[in-house]
Structure 1
Amino acid sequence: MKEKYWVPAIERADRVLRLIGEFPNQLRLIELSKRLEMNKSSLFSLLNTLETLKWVTKGEGDTYSLGPALAGIGAAYFQQFNIVQSFYKEAARSVHKINEHIQLGILEEGDVIYLGKMEGDSRVRLVTDPGMRFPAYASAIGKMQLTKFSEAELKKILQEPLKKKTEFTISDIDTLYENLQEAKKNGYAIENQEASLGFHCVAAPVYNFENKMIASVSFTMMTNSWEQKREAAKEEILLLASRLSQLAGYAGSQSKEPNK
């Protein structure tokens, strides 16, 4: 990217820091120079400046790692990060594309607590609003976050039989666990009329800088819209979740759950 007020020195520093972050304590000046295709003399001056500022540190064998100053900057960023504010900013783009309702929710024990909602043009009212609790096993947002538990853990968190919200609600943990494994494999969860008749949802996970799932976001729509928009909604909710994860510091892939 080249813009009118672009500062090449900052771009070079960014490239250096990203490469060192990817290969900590592995690369010396000569390796960095070759991989980045930078002049050794210029790179030496840049590294010396970064080391003085404690953005990088030089270890054994003259290899580099990220320095403590970056930890302080990162901590300051996460102190200002607010997932609800980020949701309302980023969800607007997704609602504009799909024109259906989007919600944000977190898991607390066996329930979802809804934190945010942005509506499309549909006049249909959802059964959940920000601040409300709803059984996690009957919602796509909840099921997505339940994927992080083993079957034994689920049996401790949830009580059988699971109370049915509709005739389609899963009512036993064995079946729920199988459903969750499919969601975990796919990287998204689907709920078909399990919370309310005539409604369908697709949810994707939001991760933080510790690779932990901290929330989920979902599209909700009626059957006629679902039949037309299912694939587009799935793709867009994954993109929204990815944007929120990046804002929360997550650096992995959203295609599947990261290694714990």
Structure 2
Amino acid sequence: MLKGLDEMERKYWVPAIERVDKILEIIAHHPEKYRLIDFSNELNINKSSMFSLLNTLEALNWVKREKDGTYSLGIKLGILTPYYFKQFDLITTFNLEAHTTNKRLDETLQLSILDGTEIVYLAKKEGTSAVRVSTDPGMKLPAHATAMGKVQLSQYSKEELKALYPEENLKPKTPYTITKVDELWEQIESIKENGVITECQEAVEDFYCVAAPIINHEDRIIASVSATILLSKWEEKKKVAEEEIIDLARRISLKAGFLAPIKN
């Protein structure tokens, strides 16, 4: 059973649906790779029960059995997918998920999208700190000066980045803002290794910011989320802030249709 479920959720848990969820996730990541015996072994479900599950899913067009006995996703998922994305609301999803993150981190969380060379703030969830971050939904800041902006710029190649910033020098927002496109490229390359980007006082003095990307069903960065923390509290909160912002971005990305790798 999934971790973190409260007593009420456990009381009404349906194991068969959990099994179906695992089957569909495996097929999504490994189409035409698994046969009945493979599912049975991996999920520790006897062959008779697994046959019933797969047979029902196939009859309902959730999965398709190939000629070699392997399985792929069925047409029903393709039919329903557009309806899900039609109802997906990025801001509403952020507000719901940020509430959970704020219980653990208790710092200002923000959501933004990229607009050319600027980011547009869409939503904000504040912590209990008396020091307020001076950004609000609707505001814009230079992408190169913000962690959220750098994250979203990471979708570009070096050539595309230089085309976006034809001038070699970047306009500073504070005395700490980077001013060279090559420096910006070095910073955004770090996301490949760390999964996050941090910036120190580049957008707002006396604050650290850590950000991670929101990725959709097309494997495309559509937005980013961040945590903003006072310089004096950064060393104390750095590790948990990075972990929490990655987890927040992951949860929103999953709801946007991103297929996260299955953990072994």
Q: TM-score range by the shorter chain?
A: 0.7 to 0.9
Which shifted more, 16-25 or 154-163?
A: 16-25
Q: Report the TM-score when normalising by structure 1.
A: 0.88
Does the CA contact (< 8 Å) of 2:29 and 2:261 recur in 1?
Answer: no
**Identity between Structure 1 and Structure 2 (%):** 48
> Partner amino acid for 1:100?
E
> Partner amino acid for 2:219?
N
Classify the secondary structure of the residue corresponding to 1:124.
coil
Kindly report the root-mean-square deviation, in angstroms, between the aligned alpha carbons of the 2 structures.
2.3
For residues 85 and 204 of structure 1, what CA distance do their matches in structure 2 show? 18
Pairwise mapping of residues 11-90 of structure 1 onto structure 2 (< 5 A)? 11-90=18-97
Return closer, same or farther for 1:20/1:159 CA change in 2, 3 Å cut-off: closer
Displacement after TM superposition at 1:168 (Å): 0.9
Pairwise mapping of residues 1-260 of structure 1 onto structure 2 (< 5 A)? 1=1, 3-160=10-167, 161-252=169-260
Q: Report the TM-score when normalising by structure 2.
A: 0.86
For residues 61 and 143 of structure 1, what CA distance do their matches in structure 2 show? 46
Classify the secondary structure of the residue corresponding to 1:204.
strand
Runs of 4+ in 1 over 4 A off after TM superposition: none
Does the CA contact (< 8 Å) of 1:168 and 1:193 recur in 2?
Answer: yes
Q: How many residues were matched structurally?
A: 254
Does the CA contact (< 8 Å) of 1:112 and 1:135 recur in 2?
Answer: yes
Q: Deviations over 1:60-89 (max 9, x none)?
A: 223321101022233322222111111111
Does the CA contact (< 8 Å) of 1:144 and 1:184 recur in 2?
Answer: no
For residues 104 and 110 of structure 1, what CA distance do their matches in structure 2 show? 16
Does the CA contact (< 8 Å) of 1:128 and 1:134 recur in 2?
Answer: no
> Partner amino acid for 2:173?
K
> Partner amino acid for 2:159?
A
Q: Where in structure 1 are there 5+ consecutive unaligned residues?
A: 255-260
Q: Deviations over 1:78-102 (max 9, x none)?
A: 2221111111111122222222211
For residues 256 and 33 of structure 2, what CA distance do their matches in structure 1 show? 27
> Partner amino acid for 1:140?
A
Displacement after TM superposition at 1:253 (Å): 5.0
Does the CA contact (< 8 Å) of 1:183 and 1:190 recur in 2?
Answer: no
Partner of 2:6: none
Displacement after TM superposition at 1:244 (Å): 1.2
> Partner amino acid for 1:219?
A
Displacement after TM superposition at 1:41 (Å): 3.9
Displacement after TM superposition at 1:37 (Å): 4.1
Classify the secondary structure of the residue corresponding to 1:60.
coil
Return closer, same or farther for 1:189/1:7 CA change in 2, 3 Å cut-off: closer
Classify the secondary structure of the residue corresponding to 1:163.
coil
For residues 227 and 15 of structure 2, what CA distance do their matches in structure 1 show? 41
Classify the secondary structure of the residue corresponding to 2:170.
coil
Q: Where in structure 2 are there 5+ consecutive unaligned residues?
A: 3-9
